[in-house]
Structure formats: C-alpha cells, structure tokens
Structure 1
C-alpha cells in the first residue's frame, strides 16, 4: 500500500480539539471579584455580633479564632519562621487589622457620625495611590487619574444620604483617617519590602494573633473578655473569620502579590456599594436611587482606572 505524496500527515496534537483556557485577564478579574465580595462581607458579621458585645471584644474573638485556625498550617507548611519576620508581621497586623478597626470604632464611640467614618475609610484606595508615588515610585497616568476621580465621586454620591456633621470633639474626626492611612502604609510596605513577606497563611496567622493580643488588652481594660453565648454572636464570628478575615485579608494579600497596588485599591472603591447591596439582600435595608447612581459612577471609574492602570517602579 502506497501513500500519495500530496497527502501530509498532521501531528496528532493538531488533531485534538482545542480547549480554550481562561485568559490571565479573566483570572485576575475573578480574583478581584472574590476580594470585593469577601472584603465587603464584614458588615454582615458585625451586624450579627454588635448587639451582643462591644466591637473590641468582637475583634478579639474574630482574630483569635482566625489565628488559631491558621496556626497548624503556619507551623507545618512553608518556610521556617524567623523572629524578625514574626515581629514585622506582628506590627503589620496591629496597624493593618487593628488600626482601622480602632480608628473607626473609637470615632463612632466619641460621636462621629457613621457616614463620615465610612466615607473616610472608603478613601483607602485613594490613599494607596497617593502614598504609592513617594513610597514605591509608582507612576499614575492621566487615564488612571480620571478613573480614580470618577470612583471617588461615585463613593461621595452613594454616601451622601448618610453624611451629616456631628458634635464629637475635633480630634475624634482624625481617628478614621489615621486608621485608613495605617492600612495603606502597610499595604505599600509589603510592596516595598518583599523580603519581609511570608506565605499568605503564615503572615495572616501572625497578623491575626498579634491584633488579637491588642484587642485582648483593650477588652481587659473594658472589664469583659468572655464571649456571649448567643448563637447569633457565634454565627457572626464564624462569618467574620471565614469571609472577612481569612477570605478578605487573605485574598487582599494574594492580589497584592500578583497585581499592582493601585489596581487592588481601585476594586475596593466598589466596597461601599457592595456593602449596601449586602445590607439590602440580608437585612432589607433601603437602597436609594442615589446609591444606584453612585454605584454606576464608581464602577465606570474602576473600569477606566483598571484599563489604564499599571505599576512602574522607578
């Protein structure tokens, strides 16, 4: 049997059906979407718990349980922990986890309206962008500035309904700003000093336990350390541990390793409207037309900033 010279055998691999793999861009957006859902979900856990315990006690049990859950993995998996790394990660935890909670919580206790507190904490992505210029030499282009400006406007529109001036002492209004700046600085330090970074499960374990230690001291000062026994409290703690702490902070650090700090920050502009949607779905809270308009403006800004964004170290 002879074979026609004009007939060519195709490689076996070329005869297989092509499987279209998801693009890297799709994977990045899935990561950012998961981060957004987990980051904004902390509101749900807090709603379940604050009726039974002060925020410092909630934060203590939330971070303690998260740290204990991660501890076996941190000890058995990954590189051997060095004292310097543990100390640095412990400081990161105090500033990143405890700083924002304390700043916002104490401000509210002093009488700062929650709308102002939320608005200041929602400016975290803008702080990351502004601080990234001197800290890590990031270059922000015109298109990205336009997107960031739109995103900020969207947050202002969405938050306008809850914004009013309170009668708290002047120094209390600086606390949410300081808490927001603390987590922004930690975010950029982890970009600036990659030698201090551990695998996600190890760093998150150390940060959770260090912040739990701080909240334990504050709970002792308040005279209450034992948790409530109500099932709703523990349901809220479980939610905070799995979604807000392990999910939210874990995905936040994963995204920081893979993407630029401004791109990670940009997606967090959607956290306020996402939180409002959580409240609407879970608790039937109002969702006004202003919130819808703000969400649309913010989403447009995030898309523009992400399209033009990039990290260009000097």
Structure 2
C-alpha cells in the first residue's frame, strides 16, 4: 500500500473528529451534517450528469440501491453517532479511541464473511494495536470530560455501522467506480440528514463564520480526503490493512485536539501512538495480501479490486 496514501488517509480521517467538534460549538449535529452533504451532493450529482457519465454505465437499480445502503451505514449512521457523542461532551480523542476498536471487529469477521486469510503475525499486530488503544484510553479517561457514562456507548454504534458497510461493499459482485459510489453515498446522506434536520426544526444554517469554516473543513478534508481514501485503500489493500490504519486515528486525533482545543496529551498518549504505529508495521508485513480460501469467493475479490 502506498505510504503517502496511508499517511493522507490517517490525517484526513482523523480531521473529521476535529471538524465535528468545530461544528458542535456552533450548531446542532444534524444541522452541521445536513449542510455538509446537501451542497456536496448537488455538486456531485451535476458532475455525474455531465463529465462523469462513463462511471455509471452498466449499473442497475439494484447496484445503486446497494450503494445507497452502504452510504447510509458508512456515512449517515457512522457520522451521526460520532457527532452526537462529541456534542454530548465526549472528547474528540476518546471518540476516535472507541472508533479504534474497529480493526479488531473487522479482523475477527474477515475470515468467516469474506474467506480472507489473516496470518498469525497480522493477529499479533491487531492485538498490539488494541494495546495501544487501551493505553491512550486509560490516560484520556483519567482526565474526565463531564459527559454522561452512556455517551461513551454511542460511538460504538457508529463503529459497528462502518464495519457493516465495509463488509457489505466487499461482498459486492458488480464493480462500482469510486466516483459513482461516493456520489450515491453523499446523496443518501444528504437525504437522511436533511430529513432529520427538518424533523428536529434544525435545518436553518447558523450565520457564523465558525459554522461555515467547519463545513468547509469537513467537505474538503473529511469527505474528499478521509472518506475517499478509505474506499480507495480498502480496494487496494484489503479489509485488514485499511482497518489497521484505524489504530493510528486515536493518538493522531489526540494530537489534533491538544493543538486546537487544549485537550490533554501526555506520556500515555505518546506511548499509545508508538504502539499503534508498531501495530501498523507488523500487520503490513504479516502477509502479502488477503488470500482466498476457496473458489466461491473469487467473484467477491474481483468486484472489490475493480477500479483500483
């Protein structure tokens, strides 16, 4: 996997937690999410209808419906829980820490669901990554945020939603161009968040510079950067490798939070960053790539690598 792509993914994905906190300071979570996706969906739809028609050829209504479900899980469900947790008072670093348990869930399911081989060395790397997450979690929890105890359960729902979307996409037999997939995902999220905002009476944008700065941050860095690179690296490197990079999100987000919001960053966070980096190296060297256990998964593999 390209090192620059991995580095860009870690930085831009972690920026989403910071953008969520920036937006939470000026508006309701669904308001921020509505205005993050509504203009973006309109622009992507225009591009799809003009200069990117080729990427839609051969796609059926069933293919588009499947991508809409993937988008609802990977964007709508995931982001709503992240934003809501941060709005409740959970720090951006802690939210990223909880999200960091995703590789363990994905690693446990990749064999039964996709028939992909996970080596012993890769399992060692996953366990090492969990250790890094635990180290940072202990240090962050000791600082205290004032959020209710149940608020820390909210990000777990988002993590499971993203895992479900990842496996659903990997089992898709029809190749879908990344540009087409992102357009469907963003349009789905625009519909979901607009409906939620209207239902809550929170659709009106906030007339503050900080609000629109947060929207710009989220669209450029988080959506085109983090979300786009997630699916690109997933198709090039497989589920285990892309999810291992998630171990770096918590400490990197903690660095962002310390620099921008004064959130605590001590020796334990630094140690967790080092352990997480070691986990990424171990997993990436633990195998040349996912292997098929039987011929029954060949269609899945071909669909997932198409367009990479």
Normalised by the length of structure 2, the TM-score is 0.84
Asked whether the 8 Å contact 1:66–1:245 carries over to 2, the reply is no
Q: CA–CA distance in 2 between the matches of 1:245 and 1:167?
A: 27
Q: Tell me the equivalent position of 1:119.
A: 97
Q: CA–CA distance in 1 between the matches of 2:237 and 2:119?
A: 17
- Note the C-alpha offset of 1:43: 2.5
Q: Tell me the equivalent position of 2:28.
A: 54
**Residue 277 (structure 2) pairs with residue 299 (structure 1):** yes
Q: Tell me the equivalent position of 2:14.
A: 40
| Structure 1 segment 1-314 matched on structure 2, within 5 A | 28-76=2-50, 77=52, 78-80=55-57, 81-106=59-84, 117-163=95-141, 174-195=153-174, 197-309=175-287, 310-314=289-293
CA 1:106–1:238: 2 relative to 1, 3 Å: closer
- Note the C-alpha offset of 1:115: 7.2
Asked whether the 8 Å contact 1:158–1:291 carries over to 2, the reply is yes
Q: CA–CA distance in 2 between the matches of 1:121 and 1:277?
A: 16
Task: Give the gaps of 5 or more residues in structure 2.
Answer: 294-308
Name the count of aligned residue pairs: 286
- Which secondary structure does the structure 1 equivalent of 2:264 belong to? coil
Cα deviation, 1:195-223, whole Å, max 9, x if unaligned, reads 1x421111111111111211112112211
Q: CA–CA distance in 2 between the matches of 1:294 and 1:167?
A: 23
Asked whether the 8 Å contact 1:66–1:246 carries over to 2, the reply is no
Q: CA–CA distance in 1 between the matches of 2:263 and 2:147?
A: 26
Asked whether the 8 Å contact 2:19–2:218 carries over to 1, the reply is yes
Q: CA–CA distance in 1 between the matches of 2:38 and 2:273?
A: 34
Q: Tell me the equivalent position of 1:6.
A: none
- Note the C-alpha offset of 1:130: 1.3
- Note the C-alpha offset of 1:105: 4.3
Q: Comparing both structures, which one devotes a greater share of its residues to helix? A: 2
Asked whether the 8 Å contact 2:135–2:268 carries over to 1, the reply is yes
CA 1:65–1:313: 2 relative to 1, 3 Å: farther
Task: Point out the structure with max Rg over C-alpha.
Answer: 1
- Which secondary structure does the structure 1 equivalent of 2:56 belong to? coil
- Note the C-alpha offset of 1:167: 8.8
Normalised by the length of structure 1, the TM-score is 0.83
Q: CA–CA distance in 2 between the matches of 1:168 and 1:274?
A: 24
Asked whether the 8 Å contact 1:114–1:162 carries over to 2, the reply is no
Q: CA–CA distance in 2 between the matches of 1:85 and 1:306?
A: 32
Q: Tell me the equivalent position of 1:3.
A: none
- Which secondary structure does the structure 2 equivalent of 1:163 belong to? helix
Cα deviation, 1:124-146, whole Å, max 9, x if unaligned, reads 12221112111101221111111
Q: CA–CA distance in 1 between the matches of 2:80 and 2:168?
A: 21
Asked whether the 8 Å contact 2:38–2:194 carries over to 1, the reply is no
